[in-house]
Amino acid sequence: MAREFADPRVVADAQRYALEYLAASGERNIFPTPDAIAALDAFDEPLPQGPGDAHEILEQLHRVGGPATVNQIGGRYFGFVNGSVVPVGLAAKQLASVWDQNAATYASSPLCSRLETVVEGWLRELFGMPEGTVAGFVSGSSIATLCGLAAARYRLLARLGWDVNERGLRESPALRIVTGDQAHASVAKAINLLGFGQACVDPVATDDQGRLRLDRLPPLDDRTLLILQAGNVCTGSFDPIAEAVARAREASAWVHVDGAFGLWAAVSPGLASLTRGIEDADSLTADAHKTLNTPYDNGVVLCRDRAALAEAMKFSGSYLPNDTHRNGMAYTPEMSRRSRVVELWATMRYLGRSGMDELVSGLHDRAVQFAEELAAAGFRVLNDVVFNQVLVACEDDEATRATLAAVQASGECWCGGAVWRERAAIRVSVSSWVTSPEDVTRSVAAFEAAREAVAG
Ligand SMILES: *Cc1c(COP(=O)(O)O)cnc(C)c1O
């Protein structure tokens, strides 16, 4: 086998293709064309008998793979809450890819260990969490929520004299989980993975924007895990965090805030009232790959109770380090991990406070513009645009679904669908720093053209 992974020309190939891709991102279709998807058949090859040519492999990836990507780094992708990438984060990721660090421990990467400590401090400061709050750097909010709830499970049971690591859940004191009926699907998944099951969940009714209703919040106690949401995936709305957190603390309940994309409102003075109260929560989750526009995958769990998270993620082994350095794997379910903190550090270091504010408030401004222009064009905007989400519908469900399909096929922009209060809706998630006012206007024109095509 040729030792091509030591061949700098292969890396140069990748660099060249990447630059070509970036240069064309403004005009490429947002969702790949049917032809580009059909061409993926080229990957249906039998497993090769032996080594191939690295240059050819990269060329195939560029030629066949590139055109079949979803163009979400440009300004007109509004699906899910995906976000784009700030260039410095993208470049840092490329550089760090070459380093191929394992962020598990100090021994495997002193660099990652140090950057995790630095970014942990910055995040603590941004979200107003006290000294001693620990951050775990994970793939995304699904895992971050799993971590937060695992820490809660450990601590609530420990206070009741039960070590869940030793004794498990089968005979443990019962815990109760209280959360809005609009909690994200990943919350239910974490609850199931942790062995609670949905039978432990006491769902709280939400209002017309999907916010937990305080007047429906049951009495809380020291066996309760309250899960709040900062940013509903359909409406972008925020639970009344400060009031609910105050009640939880009063009752010695644990409170976790799922702020996958919405927690970043806290970095923007104009939007920070939405997240008021997070500083008093026990654990928080946020996705930098969403609102902060870092590359994938960049989720964070912040936990006020360092020992609870460390106990919940406990590991041991004679070959593992037991030292005073920060070992990132002590706060995450994984051991081996890529060096995602490098691009998070680079993005925060680059943007600074004012850059983060500009990014996040810019998403809000574009969302407001989107809603206004859609409404002016005769679409129905179903939500109050408090953050970056716009929920929109046509005159009836059939027209909404058909219009959405036509928008998705247009190549002009891409949005997802949802059902909101039993009504078909189109979700517009403004999550890319690249999105300009012109991109919004052009996308609204695509909505109008789609609606006309459907009607005609
Ligand atoms: C995206 C999202 C999640 C899941 O995050 P991943 O990073 O995809 O694992 C959880 N909660 C909310 C509100 C989200 O928007």
Q: Is residue 448 part of a domain?
A: no
Are residues 57 and 107 both part of a single domain? no
Q: Is residue 403 part of a domain?
A: no
Are residues 39 and 131 both part of a single domain? no
Question: Which residues line ligand 1 at a C-beta cut-off of 6 Å?
Answer: 81, 140-142, 184, 186, 231, 233, 258, 260-261, 287, 299
Q: Is residue 400 part of a domain?
A: no
Query: Residue 68: how many CA atoms within 13 Å on its side-chain side?
Result: 16
**Domain tally, the chain:** 2
Could you tell me the pTM of the whole model? 0.96
- The DSSP secondary-structure symbol of 291 reads T
Q: Is residue 431 part of a domain?
A: no
Q: Is residue 280 part of a domain?
A: yes
Q: Is residue 450 part of a domain?
A: no
- Residue 8 has a pLDDT of 80
Distance from residue 7's CA to the centre of ligand 1 (Å): 39
Q: Among 347, 364, 385, where does a domain finish?
A: 347
Closest atom of ligand 1 relative to the 287 alpha carbon = 7
Closest atom of ligand 1 relative to the 143 alpha carbon = 9
Are residues 192 and 298 both part of a single domain? yes
- Residue 321 has a pLDDT of 72
Distance from residue 245's CA to the centre of ligand 1 (Å): 21
- Residue 316 has a pLDDT of 74
Are residues 129 and 61 both part of a single domain? no
Are residues 44 and 192 both part of a single domain? no
Q: For the segment 217-246, what is each residue's pLDDT rounded down to a tens digit?
A: 999 999 999 999 999 999 999 999 999 999
- Residue 4 has a pLDDT of 54
Are residues 64 and 107 both part of a single domain? no
End-to-end C-alpha distance for the chain, whole angstroms: 60
Which CATH number do you get for residue 285? 3.40.640.10
Q: For the segment 254-294, what is each residue's pLDDT rounded down to a tens digit?
A: 999 999 999 999 999 999 999 999 999 999 999 999 999 99
CA 195 to chain centre: 24
Are residues 330 and 242 both part of a single domain? yes
For residue 271, the enclosing domain spans: 94-347
Q: For the segment 86-115, what is each residue's pLDDT rounded down to a tens digit?
A: 999 999 999 999 999 999 999 999 999 999
Q: Among 15, 38, 71, where does a domain finish?
A: 71
- Residue 315 has a pLDDT of 82
Below-70 pLDDT ranges, the chain? 1-6
User: Diameter of the chain by CA atoms?
Assistant: 71
Distance from residue 139's CA to the centre of ligand 1 (Å): 10
Closest atom of ligand 1 relative to the 297 alpha carbon = 7
Are residues 258 and 297 both part of a single domain? yes
Q: Is residue 222 part of a domain?
A: yes
Verify cis geometry, omega within 30 degrees of 0, for the bond prior to 297.
Answer: yes
**Are the C-beta atoms of residues 21 and 52 closer than 8 Å to each other?**
no
Q: What is the C-alpha separation between 236 and 12, in angstroms, rounded?
A: 42
Distance from residue 142's CA to the centre of ligand 1 (Å): 6
Are residues 250 and 299 both part of a single domain? yes
Are residues 148 and 250 both part of a single domain? yes
- Residue 6 has a pLDDT of 60
Q: Among 347, 381, 396, where does a domain finish?
A: 347
Q: Is 357 helix (H, G, I), strand (E, B) or coil?
A: helix
Q: Is residue 241 part of a domain?
A: yes
DSSP of 382-441: -S--SSSEEEEE-SSHHHHHHHHHHHHHHSS-EEEEEEETTEEEEEEE---TT--HHHHH
Are residues 6 and 145 both part of a single domain? no
> What are the CA-CA distances from residue 236 to residues 187, 210, 239, 260, 329 (Å)?
17, 9, 10, 11, 32
Are residues 103 and 15 both part of a single domain? no
